[in-house]
Chains A and B, each alone.
Chain A
Amino acid sequence: MNDDEHEATYPGARRPDRRRTVDSTGLSLSVAEWGDPDAPPLVLAHGGFDFAETLNVFAPLLAEGGWRVVSWDQRGHGDSDRAGLYSWEADLRDAASVLDSVGPGPVVFAGHSKGGSLMMHLANALPHRVSALVNLDGLPSRGAMSDVAEHERTRMLRRELEAWLDHRRTLVGRARRPGTPEELAARRGRMNPRLDPAWLRYLVSVGATRSDDGWRWKIDPTMRLGGFGPWRPEWSMLRLPGVGAPFLGVLGLELELMGWGTRPVDVEPFLPPGAEFVALEGVGHFVHIEQPRRVAGLVLDFLADVGA
């Protein structure tokens, strides 16, 4: 691969048909759209440490199915502004700003991982704005995390706390480490070990920028996995039973680093009446990237069935 002109392609990948920006409480968010602008909207949120163009295969499949797919780079991700602060509430407000830019009527909410949880929360907060809700491996559960003994969890919390504060002290002027496209793809591969290396190299061409000393992922270099806080996985799951719109949940059963480890038994008691729930054997956390056609098919069939 030529390092100077890293313009990778990937089978089935299509960059957004349109890009625009939305102001969310003073921050500029980069919105990506696929499909007919007059088709019914489907607002699709990416997961943590991803960006809108990680949907470059999945979103076009939904667009071809008759939807105007609207996604956005969450604050600090992709081409959106880096923020002074990041939080769940801030991401919710940003999602609502994107939603407002689509129009006042009810639309389909969908999201993967953190984006799935985010849209589920938004569906609870704004039930009049959602016509159907699709959650792709975005259901954190208590059951998945209860195998760590309490004292061990506490020791982990303490180490995380110190490591997090030590990290905070190093952030001023921090930049992402530069590298060749292959090096960036390999680094991302550590978070996405199940994904096709060719896909990861493709992501560099849409998720990184090049400067004199090499390529860098666009994501805010001050963001870090982990951290600490009072959040509990069951808080997210407790948003599920109250969902009033038709619901489709898709779970990948292969355990991996970026996933939640949630099992069907952790989800089933919380499903709202009439919900559709599919657990995929042999598929990891990135269900929509590992099996885009199958998952897009599930979503399109579900939306057709419920008349969304």
Chain B
Amino acid sequence: MTADVEFLQHNRITLALHRLADAPGRPLLLLHGLGERTPDAVPPWVRWPGPVYGLDFTGHGGSTVPTGGGYTSEILVGDADAAIGRLGEVTLLGRGLGAYIGLLVAAARPDRVRGVVLTDGPGLAGGGVHPGSPSLPHPGPHAVAPPDPFALLELSRDVRPPDYAQTFARFVTESSPLDTPLFVTAMVRPEWLVAVLAEPGVGQGTVAEGLAGYAGLD
């Protein structure tokens, strides 16, 4: 765990928010992938002139592991919103699951999110575009350490219909003052992300290009 960590409360969950770099300006908030946690330091491929923070989602890293699962992407949007409530205006860099959460929270808080970079990472695809054959997998004995096996199980089965993701992408592009409020660098493109990419106002390129564009904003 990083030395510079503060804790936020989202209902019964205590969330770890790590400060990885201190500088004046708009923060970059890292949203990790499924099963990951905030890295100990700013990754070398992330160039950002302002402060850099990372949030551990529920059941991950230094955040609470709740009893008995019950994960949905929508709940993690509440996690990200708690961090935004603390940090104010932010730019988001999401890996995998964190990229999907970044899209959803940007739609909910268009006045607070100044750009989202959506990158490859664990949990990008989720559970496909519609529910599969029902089953009741059970993670077995309770975890004592994160990541919570219920999170790994449930968030890899989380259904992500393309038109659902597209609706959120439209919220972002219609509400944001930015020309390109969403920027996709992911090479893996599940159907929800293909639908997002089809919207005007969604850019594509490298992480460096995406971050440079958002770093240069007022």
Binding site for B on A (CB under 8 A): 24-27, 75, 81-87, 89-90, 92-94, 96, 121-122, 124-126, 154, 157-158, 161-162, 164-165, 168-169, 171-172, 222, 227-230, 232, 235, 238-239
Interface assignment of B108: CB less than 8 Å from any CB of chain A:
yes
Tally A-B pairs: CB < 8 A.
109
Q: Say yes or no: A27 contacts B68, CB within 8 Å.
A: yes
The distance from the CB of A254 to the nearest CB of chain B, in whole angstroms, is 30
Residues in A whose Cβ lies below 8 Å from that of B82? 168-169
Residues in B whose Cβ lies below 8 Å from that of A121? 134
Q: Say yes or no: A27 contacts B154, CB within 8 Å.
A: no
Main SS of the interface on chain B? loop
Q: Say yes or no: B170 contacts A154, CB within 8 Å.
A: yes
Binding site for A on B (CB under 8 A): 9-13, 58, 64, 66-72, 74-75, 77-78, 81-82, 85, 107-109, 130-131, 133-136, 138-139, 142, 150, 154, 157, 159-161, 164, 167, 170-171
Q: Say yes or no: A227 contacts B64, CB within 8 Å.
A: no
Residue of B nearest to A168 (CB): B78
Q: Say yes or no: B85 contacts A90, CB within 8 Å.
A: no
- For the A-B complex with A85-B71, A172-B9 known, give 13 more contacts whose Cβ atoms are closer than 8 Å: A25-B69, A27-B67, A83-B70, A84-B64, A86-B70, A87-B70, A87-B71, A90-B69, A121-B134, A124-B134, A158-B107, A161-B107, A230-B164
Q: Say yes or no: B10 contacts A168, CB within 8 Å.
A: yes
Pick from A85, A94, A125, A158: contact of B134, CB below 8 A: A125
Residues in A whose Cβ lies below 8 Å from that of B69? 25, 85, 87, 89-90, 93
Residue of A nearest to B9 (CB): A172
The distance from the CB of A204 to the nearest CB of chain B, in whole angstroms, is 26
